[in-house]
């Protein structure tokens, strides 16, 4: 299905790796979107408020003859294209915002590394894992339990992972609901 691509056009929108986590006890499925990069400092880009940067606007016109011509105020997709977490977040949002998808939650992961060992293993791996759900008002929640190891995503441990993400809720300081006027 066509959807907004990471570069602002339209396309099929496939992350580098996709997984599906299925509960043995409940009728619950959580898609996992994984985006991989291989450059120095390309794991994640945050804005000034500490949020995962997505589309922002160009501050000025591009120079004449630029490889990527743009005007001031045009959308700038660089963070989504160049950073692993930002790209994975883009894919996760598309799943939850798609009216044809029946998912209410997604896990998204950015992975990065720049050096390979003689055995073709990444010598300097880094990753960051987030949980995104409609019940959390689409606010990404960092999953610290997956910071060191992804063992919770193994089949035998999925119920424990579901317990972890179920406890990731918005704090009162993030969302303050205003009472309706009578």
Give the count of domains, the chain: 1
Predicted confidence at residue 115, as pLDDT, reads: 93
66 within a domain of the structure (yes/no): no
Predicted confidence at residue 130, as pLDDT, reads: 97
Residue listed under structure tokens 């999925």: 158
11 within a domain of the structure (yes/no): yes
178 within a domain of the structure (yes/no): no
Predicted confidence at residue 109, as pLDDT, reads: 98
Predicted confidence at residue 180, as pLDDT, reads: 47
Predicted confidence at residue 143, as pLDDT, reads: 96
62 within a domain of the structure (yes/no): no
89 within a domain of the structure (yes/no): yes
Predicted confidence (pLDDT) per residue in 90-128, tens digit: 999 999 999 888 999 999 999 999 999 999 999 999 999
Domain of residue 36: give its range.
3-57+71-166
175 within a domain of the structure (yes/no): no
Predicted confidence at residue 11, as pLDDT, reads: 58
Two tokens, residue 73: 């105020």
Weakly modelled stretches of the chain, pLDDT under 70: 1-13, 170-182
128 within a domain of the structure (yes/no): yes
92 within a domain of the structure (yes/no): yes
Two tokens, residue 145: 């339990």
């Amino acid at each position: 299905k066509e959807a907004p691509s990471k570069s602002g056009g339209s396309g099929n929108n496939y992350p580098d790796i996709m997984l599906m986590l299925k509960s043995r006890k409940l009728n619950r499925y959580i898609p996992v979107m994984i985006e991989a990069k291989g450059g120095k400092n390309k794991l994640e880009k945050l804005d000034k408020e500490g949020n995962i940067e997505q589309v922002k606007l160009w501050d000025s016109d591009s120079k004449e003859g630029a490889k990527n011509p743009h005007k001031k105020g045009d959308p700038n997709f660089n963070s989504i294209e160049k950073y692993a977490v930002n790209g994975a977040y883009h894919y996760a949002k598309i799943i939850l915002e798609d009216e044809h998808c029946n998912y209410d939650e997604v896990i998204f992961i950015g992975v990065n590394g720049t050096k390979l060992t003689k055995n073709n293993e990444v010598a300097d791996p880094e990753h960051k894992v987030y949980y995104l759900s409609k019940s959390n008002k689409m606010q990404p929640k960092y999953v610290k339990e997956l910071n060191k190891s992804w063992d919770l995503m193994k089949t035998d441990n999925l119920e424990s992972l579901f317990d972890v993400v179920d406890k990731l809720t918005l704090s009162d300081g993030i969302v303050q609901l205003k009472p309706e006027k009578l």
